[in-house]
């Protein structure tokens, strides 16, 4: 067989040209989200194919929604998504820092520093950065933690809603806190959410336990069960239908009637089996036939039908019950306990609230309209992610770029003590971190250079090292931002810096880009960046 020609339909760029194009792509991407950074950041209006709109201020949402094909831009988006998964916050910062690290690397490349030297310098800086950030972090008290959660919502909702959601997120995180095998665990997936339209977002609330939008299987069924047994059935309580693969001939109507009776009696046996296991609350994923209903009612068993499987899983976590696939498997060990199982109305919708010994909490996300309630629920998710981290690791840093400036000052001292060209890379790294305070100032309509100089000078003059001093965006001057309530978890800032370094170094290591010919065009905005960047193609 003849060998296929190598790289036939492929466009190839190598060396510096490849690097320049890759860096331009990263910068174009960062340019798209930079203006959303911080409390004064602007919103983006996203439109999809079907004309649906979403207004957001969240970096990762913008990036994940945009249709980006450039592989390097995708690497940065992945870094931002990884940040989202790891910390639920800091997604814009991660991309903006990564792009700045690359931009500064490009300036060094133009001066003749090899990319692999830059990568080595960046790695040294990253390790130093992690240690330094830990050294300036402090343990937050309960109030500090709520403040940090509120800071994480900066720019996302009104001040009142931020405050309310921060409180609710901490409350929910407390509800689902538990110790598993000696490990302290806070699992945000144990917090479920329901949307209730008609009241302001600030009336949102957390209910301990699980609240599901469900009515009882029968209106006369018992409303409240306390301290009793629950069973979860992923199946139905209905007459078994004749299967399509069974054919038989009924010789008289009596035969059919006899069959029907037998099915009903089987069904009732199932109900008796449930009662015999001591079950007082029953949730099934399928239907419940009328005959079964009536019997359940007589037996005073509270029953809910058509409970979606994922809700059954949540019920299992909350009550300790096992989800069964058939009544035959029903044994005491498979049942769980409800402290309270209540059927009630929220607004004019029927709800079922279950409190068990397992941990669970539910957010009732409110809003005057659908969109606002949905937005409340999305903001809560972010706040909850941050709150869950904070209950495990209470270490905080001062935000608003204060920690970044302090870290940059530290790294410049490290650079001085580092021999070789890596020194230049460490300095470039320090400069890149300052993109955060610069962008925050810029978005607040301040002069970024003056702002940065002021903060750096104020930090240098402070007796305690100045790690808490940053730019107050309203007072427009260097201020103790810790006192002003701008706090961020160490667990958010650390991965933004390390994730950005990771992504930047990965890009710097590429020196060959092979494009399938079909996609070998450069989008206009990236071309414009390329033209602005300077540096010769070689």
User: Where does this chain bind Mg ion (CB under 5 A)?
Assistant: 89
- Sign, CA torsion 98/101/107/113: negative
Q: Tokens 């760029």 correspond to what residue?
A: 13
Do the Cβ atoms of 469 and 476 come closer than 8 Å?
Answer: no
> Is residue 89 within the footprint of ligand ADP (CB under 6 A)?
yes
Choose one: 90-98, 295-303, 425-433, 497-505; the region binding ligand ADP (CB under 6 A).
90-98
E strand or H helix at 262, and its extent? helix 253-276
Q: In the bound complex, what is the minimum distance in angstroms from residue 492's beta carbon to Mg ion?
A: 8
Closest to 349 in 3D by CA, of 368, 364, 333 = 364
The binder of ligand ADP chosen from 473, 503, 507, 508 (CB under 6 A): 473
Q: What's the min distance (Å) between Cβ of 95 and ligand ADP? A: 8
Q: Please identify which residue in 211, 373, 436, 530 interacts with ligand ADP, judged by CB under 6 A.
A: 436
Question: Which residue's Cβ has the minimum distance to ligand ADP?
Answer: 399
Question: Is 382 a residue of the active site?
Answer: yes
| Residue reference for tokens 């949307």 | 195
User: Considering 13, 36, 61, 91, which one is annotated as catalytic?
Assistant: 91
Q: How far apart are the first and last CA of the chain?
A: 38
What residues pair up with 469 in beta bridges, in sequence order? Answer: 480
Smallest separation, CB 43 to ligand ADP (Å): 10
Q: Considering only residues 208, 427, 454, 488, which one is a binding residue for ligand ADP as defined by CB under 6 A?
A: 488
List 29, 440, 451, 530, residue binding ligand ADP (CB under 6 A)? 440
# chain residues binding ligand ADP, by CB under 6 A: 22
How many other CB atoms sit within 10 Å of the CB of residue 475?
9
- Return d(Cα 488, Cα 482) in angstroms, integer: 10
Q: Are 365 and 382 in contact (CB under 8 A)?
A: no
Binding-residue pattern over the window 16 to 45 for ligand ADP, x denoting contact by CB under 6 A = --------------------xxxx-x----
Residue 379 or 508 having the CB closest to Mg ion: 379
The Cα 142–Cα 535 span in angstroms is: 52
Smallest gap from residue 491 Cβ to ligand ADP (A): 13
Token pair of 387, please? 């709150």
Is 247 catalytic? The answer is no
Distances in Å between the Cα of 424 and the Cα atoms of 97, 463, 532 are 17, 29, 23
CB of 86 to Mg ion, least distance (A): 13
496 is known as an active-site residue? no
Site map 155..194 versus ligand ADP, x via CB under 6 A: x---------------------------------------
Phi and psi at 411, nearest 5°, equal -65, -30
CA distance 464 to 74: 41
Give the CA count within 13 Å in the CB-facing half-sphere of 376.
32
Residue 140 touching ligand ADP (CB under 6 A): no
Is residue 58 annotated as part of the catalytic site, yes or no?
yes
Residues with a catalytic annotation lie at 58, 91-92, 382
Residues near ligand ADP, by CB under 6 A = 36-39, 41, 59, 89-93, 151, 154-155, 399-401, 436, 440, 473, 486, 488
């Amino acid at each position: 067989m003849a060998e296929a020609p190598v790289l036939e339909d492929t466009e190839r760029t190598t060396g510096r040209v490849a690097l320049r194009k890759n860096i331009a792509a990263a910068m174009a991407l960062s340019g798209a989200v930079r203006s959303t950074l911080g409390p004064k950041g602007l919103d983006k209006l996203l439109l999809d194919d079907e004309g649906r709109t979403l207004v957001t201020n969240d970096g990762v949402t913008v990036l994940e929604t945009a249709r980006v094909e450039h592989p390097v831009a995708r690497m940065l988006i992945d870094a931002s998504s990884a940040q989202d998964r790891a910390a639920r916050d800091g997604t814009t910062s991660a991309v903006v820092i990564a792009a700045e690290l690359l931009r500064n690397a490009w300036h060094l490349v133009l001066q003749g520093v090899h990319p692999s030297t830059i990568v080595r310098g960046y790695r040294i800086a990253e390790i130093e950065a992690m240690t330094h950030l830990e050294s300036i972090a402090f343990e937050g008290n309960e109030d500090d933690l709520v403040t940090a959660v509120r800071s994480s919502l900066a720019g996302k909702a009104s001040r009142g809603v931020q405050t309310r959601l921060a409180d609710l997120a901490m409350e929910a995180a407390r509800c689902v806190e538990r110790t598993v095998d000696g490990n302290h665990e806070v699992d945000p997936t144990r917090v479920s959410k329901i949307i209730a339209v008609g009241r302001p977002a600030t009336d949102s609330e957390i209910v301990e336990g699980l609240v599901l939008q469900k009515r009882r299987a029968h209106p006369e069924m018992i409303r409240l069960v306390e301290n009793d047994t629950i069973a979860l059935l992923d199946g139905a309580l209905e007459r078994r239908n004749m299967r399509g693969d069974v054919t038989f001939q009924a010789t008289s109507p009596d035969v059919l009637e006899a069959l029907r009776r037998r099915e009903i009696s089987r069904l009732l046996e199932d109900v008796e089996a449930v009662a015999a296991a001591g079950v007082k609350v029953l949730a099934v994923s399928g239907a419940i036939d009328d005959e079964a209903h009536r019997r359940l009612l007589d037996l005073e068993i509270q029953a809910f039908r058509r409970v979606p499987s994922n809700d059954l899983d949540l019920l299992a976590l909350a009550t300790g019950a096992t989800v069964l696939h058939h009544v035959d498997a029903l044994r005491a060990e498979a049942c769980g306990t409800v402290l309270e199982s209540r059927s009630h109305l929220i607004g004019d919708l029927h709800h079922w609230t279950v409190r068990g010994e397992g941990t669970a909490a539910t957010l009732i996300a409110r809003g005057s309209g659908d969109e606002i309630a949905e937005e409340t629920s999305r903001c809560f998710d972010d706040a909850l992610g941050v709150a869950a981290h904070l209950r495990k690791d209470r270490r905080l840093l001062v935000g608003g770029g204060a920690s970044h400036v302090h870290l940059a000052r530290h790294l410049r001292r490290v650079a001085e003590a580092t021999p070789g060209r890596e020194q230049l890379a460490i300095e470039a790294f320090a400069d890149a971190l300052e993109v955060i305070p610069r962008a925050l100032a810029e978005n607040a309509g301040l002069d970024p250079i003056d702002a940065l100089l002021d903060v750096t000078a104020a930090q240098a003059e402070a007796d305690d090292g100045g790690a808490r001093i940053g730019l107050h965006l309203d007072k427009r001057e260097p201020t103790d931002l810790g006192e002003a309530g701008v706090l961020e978890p160490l667990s958010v800032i650390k991965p933004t810096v390390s994730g950005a370094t990771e992504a930047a170094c990965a890009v710097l290591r590429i020196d060959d880009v092979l494009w399938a010919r079909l996609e070998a065009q450069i989008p206009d905005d990236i071309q414009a960046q390329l033209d602005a960047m300077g540096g010769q193609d070689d």
